[in-house]
Structure 1
């Protein structure tokens, strides 16, 4: 059952009759809300993969990657995050269309960057997030989709990111302090930068 305060803070489009589901990753140590179009493809300590499927069409892929913890008080800057994304995308990168910093519902610090470019001749949009708390715990989220599918995507990333919170992990993971050279965008893009969201999936 979803808490009333969680629902109240979601974008209006998701309050008007849409059904939200909760996903809790025990190995990853986080939980979030998402709309029912997302399907879990894999859930491990370092990486969870979800795909958005709408009426048999693959709309987007989402990679959620746990990152090595920062030392107490250390934070990733927005500029460093952008540099990491540009490096990760390489020749596919064209430009940034958005870069912002905020707090989500759980008071996690959120860096957001939206990049556009081309992959295999297709116009692609990459939406990257870096979430962290004051204790240094952090993760990266990468969404990949074709530019033409943005309307169907309907800013579904906002629901996941705004509701995400850290939880206890089921198994030990790498919590050793990381230096500034750790590349969150590369972790979040392990398979998403090469994804081809226009594919048809087999209907159940």
Structure 2
């Protein structure tokens, strides 16, 4: 009797164990949409170490070391699809925290004479409500209530963004240990590469239980970003909650190598990223009413950026094609430099500067403005092609002078002469405040630039002067 009972128990236990193995071996189905728009609390921590590659002129680079830490916490709800592929991935986000601290320290012989640069960037309270939209080049953000800055959109470019992680999930059921190659756009989106050359990104269902599934990620994405060659190697895991049909956690390592670009330094760095997602019982400020008010297509101007030169009392509103490059706000020569990028290539450079104020209703005499242009260009100037005053509704007076000439670059073997057009603007407010702009563009690219110089100038606002933000390195 005992032997029969023992056999029965043993046989039953074997069936249970076999059943468990069969359950684990079942194909796993993943869900990429969220029709119910479940609210999630998302927390992400990033730690980065590496070397920014800065130009020292004459083909040389200046060695530096960088460390950075970032922390993000926000409530998130999915939004209706805006199209196919990356465009289908949209979310509303309410940030509690978005903060990055970085330290760049020079190396080499000159290091003792150069101070380290410490930067802290914090998302301001008026920009905490964000709409995130998938693109093949990453996740774009805008704030429905206020224009963002270049600094804040860079801050919110989250490595391991939940929308990009969702893009990696397989479209059909997969078995444990089965691998798949995500669509090329999904790897491009995760790596935030603008123009892709090659992706070797591979995902594998490493393990699964009745409640969770673990996906391993490995491979690289190669292409261009902001006109610079870039390669991003990725390694890590994604945990998927099968009961809630959602990504619950991710641990990723990004290894980034990029050359020096027109608007950014080169990079050789490693980022460690950890993201956690938990469902919430209540959506907080992201109510159904708030989500229903967000249009499928972003309103005109939603992706515009603002740039504030506080010490000058000057503000610009511009498209994201204009990249802030560098500025000297409180020391001579005072200048803020922007570069216009189009399809990964630099089209033009804009130098903006304040001019000493004039008597209310007055401005720098036009003859003096033209003479200053001739003096500045010197032998580079061939001719003044046009002089005109623009009609501006704001009451600001805007004068434009277009000059043609040539710019000579000394190459390693010979000089290169580039036909160049300079477009100057003198802007004067009724109060007597003044500013000047000069746009430098290769003459053959003037048509490609179109009216984007004038649009930038027309966005100029004279504001109350205030001190520069001491926390942020310009």
What TM-score do the two structures reach when normalised by structure 1? 0.70
Cα pair distance change 1:53/1:99, threshold 3 Å: same
Q: Which has the higher strand share?
A: 2
How many aligned residue pairs are there?
161
Shift of 1:103: 4.3
- Report whether the alignment pairs 1:39 with 2:335: no
Is the contact between residue 59 and residue 149 of structure 1 (CA under 8 Å) also seen in structure 2? yes
Cα pair distance change 1:153/1:2, threshold 3 Å: farther
Of 371, 385, 389, which residue of structure 2 is paired with 1:101? 389
Q: Secondary structure at the match of 1:27?
A: helix
Distance in 1, Cα, partners of 2:420 & 2:343: 21
Distance in 2, Cα, partners of 1:145 & 1:116: 10
Distance in 2, Cα, partners of 1:17 & 1:166: 20
Of stretches 80-89 and 27-36 in structure 1, the one that deviates more from structure 2 is 27-36
Of 431, 435, 457, which residue of structure 2 is paired with 1:135? 431
Is the contact between residue 106 and residue 165 of structure 1 (CA under 8 Å) also seen in structure 2? no
- Report whether the alignment pairs 1:115 with 2:403: yes
Cα pair distance change 1:166/1:103, threshold 3 Å: farther
Distance in 2, Cα, partners of 1:88 & 1:110: 20
Task: Determine which structure has more spread, i.e. the larger CA radius of gyration.
Answer: 2
* Aligned alpha-carbon RMSD (Å): 2.5
Aligned residue number for residue 125 of structure 1:
421
Is the contact between residue 363 and residue 434 of structure 2 (CA under 8 Å) also seen in structure 1? no
- Report whether the alignment pairs 1:86 with 2:374: yes
Q: Secondary structure at the match of 1:135?
A: coil
Q: Secondary structure at the match of 2:458?
A: helix
Distance in 2, Cα, partners of 1:55 & 1:105: 32
Is the contact between residue 117 and residue 125 of structure 1 (CA under 8 Å) also seen in structure 2? yes
Aligned residue number for residue 50 of structure 1:
338
Structure 2 unpaired stretches of 5+? 1-144, 148-298, 409-416, 469-474
Is the contact between residue 359 and residue 432 of structure 2 (CA under 8 Å) also seen in structure 1? yes
Aligned residue number for residue 61 of structure 1:
349
Q: Secondary structure at the match of 2:431?
A: coil
Aligned residue number for residue 178 of structure 1:
none
What TM-score do the two structures reach when normalised by structure 2? 0.32
Of stretches 26-35 and 71-80 in structure 1, the one that deviates more from structure 2 is 71-80
Cα pair distance change 1:168/1:17, threshold 3 Å: closer
Shift of 1:37: 1.0
Aligned residue number for residue 162 of structure 2:
none
- Report whether the alignment pairs 1:170 with 2:458: no
Is the contact between residue 28 and residue 47 of structure 1 (CA under 8 Å) also seen in structure 2? no
Of 429, 435, 446, which residue of structure 2 is paired with 1:150? 446
Cα pair distance change 1:105/1:163, threshold 3 Å: farther
Q: Secondary structure at the match of 2:311?
A: coil
Distance in 2, Cα, partners of 1:168 & 1:78: 26
Of stretches 116-125 and 146-155 in structure 1, the one that deviates more from structure 2 is 146-155
